[in-house]
């Protein structure tokens, strides 16, 4: 990165929050601080919901995912449109009608105080840790590749977010997210255009797609019912539906975004916008990864993208073994490139290229083993470094700064929504419950302090955590372990009208315990925990109500 890149980077990441502070600086009451001033339209809500979901992990890891395994990951989002429609039809009207600040406040009205606290508590644990991962994930990659200090990068990404989120509350979060997601979309579109432009001049875009397809990178939809396959149409529809329903219906970081709407209509259209835009957007991000893959078929890629880790292994005495592998890797690359350049003349090119590609992958696996033996085990998958390596090494100056700003914008937008939600939930569902006689101003100040405290917790988590799994999956696994039970609480509230507070509370505690036991003792695919946790709460609550808590007073259903 040169001076131009740094100017673009800092101008972009500072200008948006400063504009937000200028637009929103006032002395809000609690409703304005937690829900905005009810002037937020559907467009801002739609972009805000999109920005909250699409954190830095999406833009760093997803192209690498396509580079490594193709674009089949898109199927994980197939359940989302159905979930968003269910949220529009069931959750949003209830939240709007009851004028709640948080989703868990509704649980208190429908059941009792302890169930409200349980819902809030599960959310706080899950999101408190996830907020740290959101900051840590891009920081570890950027600090490694750019040579920045890790803690400084964490503070750069997290510190400014804490400041503006604390000052501006929900309104500044929605406003800044609108511009941050626009910067992100422009940056990713530029990267896509440049990746396609950098392919060989005699290769048309259709031919390029043909090559990527023959190399197994473009299977977007797979109707297979084979349970061993990780991404299929069916697992995406079912698993994705429960994950999305819980995320959009019961996760305060999203609920707070659409409750800020100036009407029920604005909230609903904002969500429906996401139902239609999400899949095409993720498709283009994954296709960008496939284009980067193609680019590296003609331009020699690093044998291992995480170069700092690679260099550590070389310095610790593994240099000769790695050099031998590098020689093999270079030879495979040259053969593969020749075959692809002459693809029109050789009808059997695809079989041979696939064989060479498998050999290149095997060499990379051997490299990883050597790195681990040398004590230089990477903290995240090598595929997470693919896209940012492409950006830093092959994009023009200025655009590099913009793309690094994209990563920071994504971190800031996702983190601000999470901190806003964590502060609101702690203030409304815990602090105000136990300290009910404060003034409106008192609760605004308390929410600000609690938001700042959660920001420091996120930075502390980011400073101390070290990832061993893929960055995308670390967040999804954590969410899936808790989301099922949280969603179960809400579905019992909506659909099992005879169930009362104690039954659903103990049902959810049992279900969450069961999910945690399953998580630590079995190898069930993580998306299934959403389904298992949710169904377990429904079942346990119903059974407990019919047996142990049969004599409880009838529930009061808020309308």
Interface residue list for other proteins (CB under 8 A): 74, 78, 81-82, 85, 88-89, 93, 97, 209-210, 212-214, 216, 218-222, 233, 268, 272, 275-276, 279-280, 283, 559
| Interhelix angle 264-298/319-341, nearest 10 degrees | 100
Whole-Å CA distances, 484 to 47, 119, 141, 247, 373: 26, 11, 31, 10, 39
Q: Which is nearer to other proteins, 212 or 489 (CB)?
A: 212
Question: 3-class SS at 151?
Answer: helix
Cβ burial, residue 202 (10 Å; 0-12/13-18/19+)? exposed
Instruction: Tell the smallest beta-carbon distance from residue 361 to other proteins (Å).
Output: 19
Nearest to 56 by CA among 156, 157, 146: 157
Tokens 């969410």 sit on residue: 479
The alpha carbon of residue 351 and the mean position of all alpha carbons in its chain are separated, in whole angstroms, by 36
Please, what's the b/e burial string for 84-102 (b: 16 or more CB within 10 A of its CB; e: otherwise)?
beebbebbbebbbeeebbb
* DSSP letter string, 69-106: H-GGGGGGGTTHHHHHHHIIIIIHHHHHHHT-SSHHHH
Q: Which is nearer to other proteins, 350 or 502 (CB)?
A: 350
Instruction: Tell the smallest beta-carbon distance from residue 207 to other proteins (Å).
Output: 11
Instruction: Tell the smallest beta-carbon distance from residue 265 to other proteins (Å).
Output: 9
Q: Which is nearer to other proteins, 90 or 460 (CB)?
A: 90
Cα-only R_g, the chain: 24
Question: 3-class SS at 3?
Answer: helix
Instruction: Tell the smallest beta-carbon distance from residue 391 to other proteins (Å).
Output: 25
Instruction: Tell the smallest beta-carbon distance from residue 87 to other proteins (Å).
Output: 11
DSSP H helical ranges for 374-398? 386-394
Q: Which is nearer to other proteins, 84 or 407 (CB)?
A: 84
C-alpha–C-alpha distance, residues 461 and 152, integer Å: 14
Q: Which is nearer to other proteins, 15 or 276 (CB)?
A: 276
Q: Which is nearer to other proteins, 98 or 186 (CB)?
A: 98
CB 385 within 8 A of CB 306: yes
Instruction: Tell the smallest beta-carbon distance from residue 176 to other proteins (Å).
Output: 27
Instruction: Tell the smallest beta-carbon distance from residue 35 to other proteins (Å).
Output: 20
Q: Rounded to the nearest 5°, which phi and psi values hold at 148?
A: -80, 155
Instruction: Tell the smallest beta-carbon distance from residue 266 to other proteins (Å).
Output: 13
Question: 3-class SS at 261?
Answer: strand
Instruction: Tell the smallest beta-carbon distance from residue 83 to other proteins (Å).
Output: 11
Region for 414 from its dihedrals, namely left if φ exceeds 0, alpha if ψ lies in -120 to 50, beta otherwise:
alpha
CB 250 within 8 A of CB 127: no
Instruction: Tell the smallest beta-carbon distance from residue 238 to other proteins (Å).
Output: 15
Q: Which is nearer to other proteins, 220 or 535 (CB)?
A: 220
Instruction: Tell the smallest beta-carbon distance from residue 76 to other proteins (Å).
Output: 13
Q: Which is nearer to other proteins, 275 or 388 (CB)?
A: 275
C-alpha–C-alpha distance, residues 95 and 103, integer Å: 7
Q: Which is nearer to other proteins, 175 or 218 (CB)?
A: 218
Q: Which is nearer to other proteins, 207 or 552 (CB)?
A: 207
Q: Which is nearer to other proteins, 233 or 519 (CB)?
A: 233
Tokens 């009808």 sit on residue: 347
Residues 6 or more apart whose CB falls under 8 angstroms from that of 288 comprise 63, 66, 188, 191, 192, 195, 387
């Amino acid at each position: 990165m040169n001076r131009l890149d740094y100017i673009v980077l800092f101008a972009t990441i500072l200008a948006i929050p400063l504009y937000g502070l200028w637009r929103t600086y006032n002395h809000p009451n609690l409703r304005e601080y937690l829900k905005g001033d009810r002037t937020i339209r559907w467009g801002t809500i739609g972009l805000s919901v999109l920005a909250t979901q699409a954190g830095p992990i999406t833009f760093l890891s997803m192209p690498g995912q396509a580079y490594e395994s193709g674009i089949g990951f898109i199927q994980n989002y197939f359940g989302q449109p159905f979930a968003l429609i269910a949220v529009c039809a069931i959750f949003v009207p209830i939240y709007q009608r009851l004028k709640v600040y948080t989703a868990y406040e509704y649980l208190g009205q429908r059941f009792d105080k302890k169930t409200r606290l349980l819902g809030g508590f599960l959310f706080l644990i899950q999101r408190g840790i996830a907020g740290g991962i959101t900051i840590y994930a891009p920081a570890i990659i950027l600090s490694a590749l750019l040579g920045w200090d890790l803690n400084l990068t964490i503070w750069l990404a997290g510190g400014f977010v804490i400041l503006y989120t604390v000052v501006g509350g929900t309104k500044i979060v929605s406003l800044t997210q609108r511009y941050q997601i626009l910067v992100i979309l422009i940056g990713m579109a530029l990267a896509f255009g440049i990746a396609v432009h950098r392919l060989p001049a005699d290769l048309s875009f259709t031919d390029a797609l043909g090559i990527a397809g023959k190399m197994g990178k473009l299977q977007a939809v797979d109707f297979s019912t084979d349970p061993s396959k990780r991404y299929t149409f069916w697992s995406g529809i079912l698993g994705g539906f429960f994950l999305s329903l819980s995320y959009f219906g019961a996760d305060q970081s999203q609920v707070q975004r659409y409750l800020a709407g100036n009407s029920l209509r604005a909230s609903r259209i904002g969500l429906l916008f996401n139902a239609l835009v999400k899949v095409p957007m993720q498709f283009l991000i994954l296709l960008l990864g496939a284009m980067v893959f193609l680019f590296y078929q003609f331009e020699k890629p690093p044998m291992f993208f995480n170069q700092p880790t690679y260099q550590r292994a070389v310095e610790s005495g593994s240099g000769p073994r790695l050099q031998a592998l590098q020689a093999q890797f270079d030879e495979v690359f040259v053969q593969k490139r020749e075959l692809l350049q002459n693809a029109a003349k050789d009808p059997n090119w695809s079989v041979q290229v696939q064989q060479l590609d498998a050999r290149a992958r095997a060499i990379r696996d051997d490299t990883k083993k050597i790195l681990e033996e040398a004590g230089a085990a990477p903290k995240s998958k090598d595929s997470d470094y693919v896209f940012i390596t492409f950006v830093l090494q092959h994009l023009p100056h200025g655009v590099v700064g913009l793309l690094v700003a994209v990563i920071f914008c994504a971190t800031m937008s996702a983190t601000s929504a999470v901190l806003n939600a964590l502060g609101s939930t702690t203030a409304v569902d815990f602090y105000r419950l136990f300290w009910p006689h404060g003034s409106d101003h008192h609760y605004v100040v308390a929410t600000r302090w609690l938001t700042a405290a959660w920001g420091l917790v996120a930075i502390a988590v980011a400073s101390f955590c070290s990832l061993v799994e893929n960055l995308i999956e670390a967040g999804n696994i954590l969410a899936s372990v808790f989301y099922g039970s949280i969603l179960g609480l809400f579905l019992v509230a909506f659909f099992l009208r005879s169930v009362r507070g104690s039954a659903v509370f103990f049902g959810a505690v049992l279900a969450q315990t069961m999910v945690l036991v399953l998580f630590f003792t079995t190898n069930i695919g993580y998306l299934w925990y959403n389904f298992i946790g949710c169904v377990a709460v429904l079942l346990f609550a119903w059974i407990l109500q019919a047996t142990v808590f049969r004599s409880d007073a009838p529930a009061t259903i808020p309308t």
